[in-house]
Structure 1
Amino acid sequence: MTIRVTRRWRPRSLFQLVLLAFLVVMLPLGVLMFQAAQALSELSRLADVSARQAVEETRRARTLGILALELERSARQYAVVEQESLLDIYVERLGEYRDLLAEQRELLGEEGDVAVLARQLELLERLPELPRELFEQQLAIFPAFAERTESMRRATNRHIDARIETIRERAETVQARLWLQTAALVSASLVLMLLFSWLIIRPVRQLERRILGIGSGAPRSTARPVQGPAELVQLDERLDWLASRLEELEAEKQQFLRHMSHELKTPLASVREGSALLADGVAGELSPPQREILELIDASGGELQRLIEQLLDYNLLQHNRQVTPERLDVATVVREVLAKHRLALANKGMAVSSFDGPLEWSLDHTATSRLLDNLISNAIAYGEDGGVLEIRARRRGDRLEVEVANSGEPIAEADRPRLFEAFYQGQARRKGPLKGSGIGLSVAADCARIQQGQLELVEDPRLAVCFRLTLPAGLHASLPLNPELALEASHPARN
């Protein structure tokens, strides 16, 4: 069958959903990496350009200082020796200084030192045209000229330092922006991761609930269709098909058990009725050996009828897990059950000891009677011939404890973990002509669980086998069995 789920969008496969989740989660991180690379590239380019300019400007300022010294030296040498070559050198260095100063002015602008140097340079350009006396007088300008050149070099250094500081502030701004972007984009990635994890885990948990529902027998109409990738939706459809098949098989099992009980009970009733007629002497008086054989047939027929009823009780408990509590005297319920086994106990030669009432408690009469019936039957089948059967009850706070103990062979340690499993046969051999069904104490355990109680095997200082039933107070009507309890491991007991 196919379940159509209406939605805006759904990935076609789990692989597509995982791939999409990976791409979407990585997208903010990719954007972050791209922006970080762009910012680092910009800072690197800016630092490279600034470094080149700083080297060039520093070299230019240093060259201007050297040219200022060469100008002064060549001028003073010319004043002493009056060689025209020295004047040519002066003019050449002056031109180089003028060109470098023009480039430096583009960097520093019209600062005080640059403007003064420009005016001093105009005076120095007129020196070659002056007479010797004036030429020597104008040589006094060179110390101030050299000082201004040195001041311009220091201004250039300050300008370079200011540019470096600007780059540093820009780097800090970029770093702060990258941290904010990292926090925002990584948070977005985490949110997307949680979103896609939820999209993947949600259908898996829905499938888990479906499986638990199938195991606990919950009706299919209460299950919501799985919404998710196509593989999980298809798996949900397969689970739905499996649930329908299990319901069909369960119905077939119920029908088989009903037919089997009918087919077995009808000839069994005829056998028991015939044995009763023979015992009453309808066909004539019986000899002692014949009567002994007849009693064996009747006892075996009764045992077979009890096994059939146990099987039907087990099947009933698997489907009708509701209780109808009422305020009852526990001692009265125990006496009713013991009355059913009076002949079997007498044939076994067992001494019965039971507690005195009244002891009122809220419990389900049918489930409690069936539980005690199976415990007493178990004691008769496995207990010691001529032994002891004790039934004890006591209050412990808000709980009731009922113990059924008998003498005989202790339960083997290897059997204890599985003795409450249905159809499990332990190592102990059943006394009597028929073999047990292996579901007696499984039915008893279910009767305890549907009343929110517990049946367990406990140690007794005097008797070999002791089962303890613990029931809580305030049992509510029509309380279904918790599905988780149905899946719990069985408590140690014996079938």
Structure 2
Amino acid sequence: MTTRVSRRWRPRSLLQLVLLAFLVVMLPLGVLMFQAGQALSELSRLADVSARQAVEETRRARTLGALALEMERSARQYAVVEQESLLEIYDERLLEYRQLLAQQRELLPNDPDVMALEAQLVDLARLPGLELEEFEARLDLFPPFAQRTEAMRRATNRHIDNRIETIRERAESVQARLWFQTGALVSASLVLMLLFSWLIIRPVRQLERRILGIGSGTRSQKVKPVQGPAELIQLDQRLDWLASRLDELEAEKQQFLRHMSHELKTPLASVREGSALLADGVAGDLSPRQLEILELIDASGGELQRLIEQLLDYNLLQHSQVECETIDLATVVKEVLAKHRLALDSKGMRIDTFDGPLAWTVDRTATVRILDNLISNAIAYGADGGDLEIRARRYRDRLEVEVANSGEPIAEQDRPRLFEAFYQGQARRKGPLKGSGIGLSVAADCARLQGGQLALVDDPRLAVCFRLTLPRHAPASDVATDDTSTLAGEASLHARN
């Protein structure tokens, strides 16, 4: 099925989306690593060049100082011994000094000491051509020359220090830039990670909601299509097919139950009507043995009719709506007990119920179904000649009704599944027909339909006790105004057989 969403671009598979997410998330980190490497390489190169230049310039400044000292020594020695070889040494040192000073001028182009040294070199270069007396008189040029040379060395050191400071500032700038880029790119990676996580999780959550809706039977009519990888879209389409198939099966089930109940009740009514006519002697007098058989047929027919009605109740509960009204619960209990009077008399059960009136706002039909199923369950599984107690407690925000009977306790392994539809525990039903396993399920559904709860609780005296808890839906005018919990006439009416 082609939809507007399917025509958009989307990853062809979940694996493709995961790999794409990994690559896109790693891209900013890769860019960060590349830029950090470039910045560190640039700083390393700059530091290496600066170190080499600093060593070379420092060595040149020291060499100039040494040459100035040798020039002065050669000149003074010549003034004493008058050897021409000393003037040759002087000229060589002067030439070396002039060459190094030219290189130093490139480093310090506007330094006044360098310019002064160049001017002094002109005067010092004239010394070899002077007479001895004038030569000796010019020897006083060397102390200022040495001082200028030392000042140039200090200027060179300051220039090197300034260059080192510039490199340090450049390193700090690069560090700040890298921190900023790290924060920006890591934040971008986190945003991309959250984006792709959302792109992956969103369709999964949509599918989860679809599955929960299908399982709970509360799915909406308008379903938003899943947007994501192709596998998840295909799974969504499969869920659409599954939901439509479940709707078809539910409709078929409802139709089957309606037809089956009709088909079963019609011949069953004929059988019960025929057995009643025979018992009335329409076809002639019957022997005691024949009457006993007719009573068995009529009782079994009544039991079968009750099972069919339970099945119909379970079917109707799937689509029921709550219709609350204020009723006297004690009157309802008496009506349900009257319905089961013959079965209770035949089992010899002693009945203990509460006095009325006890007004509460409930769904009458659902509450009657609960009481009917609980009392039927007590008759079916209770002990012959045992006790059946019905109690009611009214609280400020809820009403509790308990139906307890003597007999065999419910096994521990049966309790967790006691209210599941069609589940039958280890206890055997007393009577000619086997139960359907939906009586307690119908009762629990009726309680939930009213916002209440049906639970199996422990009782200090009787083996089995079911507690029905119903919330207060609306204030009733005939409800007592006390806010504390009160016991409504527990064990006040006794009807024993």
Q: In structure 2, the residue corresponding to 1:222 is in which secondary structure?
A: coil
Cα contact 2:406–2:463 (8 A) shared by 1: yes
* 2:329 corresponds to 1:333: no
1:301-340 aligned at under 5 Å gives the runs: 301-317=301-317, 319-340=318-339
Cα contact 1:451–1:475 (8 A) shared by 2: no
1:234-245 aligned at under 5 Å gives the runs: 234-245=234-245
Deviations 1:317-354 (A, max 9, x none): 2x214211111111121112111101111111111111
Q: Structure 1 3/438 Cα, relative in aligned 2: closer, same or farther at 3 Å?
A: farther
Residue number in structure 2 paired with 1:456: 455
Residue number in structure 2 paired with 1:85: 85
Residue number in structure 1 paired with 2:383: 384
Residue number in structure 2 paired with 1:282: 282
* 2:197 corresponds to 1:197: yes
**C-alpha separation in 1, matches of 2:232 and 2:331:** 56
**C-alpha separation in 1, matches of 2:3 and 2:173:** 57
Taking structure 1 as the reference length, what is the TM-score of the superposition?
0.93
Residue number in structure 2 paired with 1:55: 55
Question: How many residue pairs are counted as aligned between the two chains?
Answer: 475
Cα contact 1:422–1:439 (8 A) shared by 2: yes
Matched AA of 2:333: V
Cα contact 1:400–1:473 (8 A) shared by 2: yes
Q: Structure 1 409/2 Cα, relative in aligned 2: closer, same or farther at 3 Å?
A: farther
1:366-377 aligned at under 5 Å gives the runs: 366-377=365-376
Q: CA RMSD in A?
A: 1.6
Matched AA of 1:368: T
Matched AA of 1:84: E
Residue number in structure 1 paired with 2:265: 265
**C-alpha separation in 2, matches of 1:263 and 1:141:** 139
Residue number in structure 1 paired with 2:255: 255
1:111-190 aligned at under 5 Å gives the runs: 111-190=111-190
Q: Structure 1 50/199 Cα, relative in aligned 2: closer, same or farther at 3 Å?
A: same
Q: CA deviation at 1:395?
A: 1.1
Cα contact 2:68–2:146 (8 A) shared by 1: yes
Residue number in structure 2 paired with 1:354: 353
Gap runs ≥5 in structure 1: 477-495
**C-alpha separation in 2, matches of 1:27 and 1:178:** 16
Deviations 1:47-81 (A, max 9, x none): 11111110110110011111111111211222222
Residue number in structure 2 paired with 1:32: 32
Residue number in structure 2 paired with 1:481: none
Residue number in structure 2 paired with 1:215: 215
**C-alpha separation in 2, matches of 1:449 and 1:327:** 18
Matched AA of 1:101: L
Q: CA deviation at 1:27?
A: 2.0
Cα contact 2:210–2:219 (8 A) shared by 1: no
Residue number in structure 2 paired with 1:396: 395
Q: In structure 2, the residue corresponding to 1:133 is in which secondary structure?
A: helix
**C-alpha separation in 1, matches of 2:2 and 2:164:** 71
Gap runs ≥5 in structure 2: 476-497
Q: In structure 2, the residue corresponding to 1:134 is in which secondary structure?
A: helix
Of 425-434 and 381-390, deviating more is 425-434
Residue number in structure 2 paired with 1:486: none
Q: CA deviation at 1:15?
A: 2.5
Q: Structure 1 238/475 Cα, relative in aligned 2: closer, same or farther at 3 Å?
A: farther
Q: In structure 1, the residue corresponding to 2:377 is in which secondary structure?
A: helix
Q: CA deviation at 1:278?
A: 0.8
Matched AA of 1:392: R
**C-alpha separation in 2, matches of 1:338 and 1:303:** 16
Residue number in structure 1 paired with 2:97: 97
- Percent of paired sites with the same residue: 82
**Would you identify which runs of 4 or more consecutive aligned residues in structure 1 move more than 6 Å?**
none
Q: In structure 2, the residue corresponding to 1:139 is in which secondary structure?
A: helix
Of 37-46 and 214-223, deviating more is 214-223
Q: CA deviation at 1:392?
A: 0.8
Q: CA deviation at 1:268?
A: 1.5
Q: Structure 1 474/23 Cα, relative in aligned 2: closer, same or farther at 3 Å?
A: same
**C-alpha separation in 2, matches of 1:218 and 1:475:** 26
Matched AA of 2:176: A
Matched AA of 2:28: P
Deviations 1:65-124 (A, max 9, x none): 111111112112222222211111110110000000011011112322212211221111
**C-alpha separation in 1, matches of 2:464 and 2:3:** 54
* 2:231 corresponds to 1:231: yes
Q: In structure 2, the residue corresponding to 1:5 is in which secondary structure?
A: helix
Cα contact 2:94–2:125 (8 A) shared by 1: yes
Of 368-377 and 17-26, deviating more is 17-26
Cα contact 1:337–1:373 (8 A) shared by 2: yes
Residue number in structure 2 paired with 1:468: 467
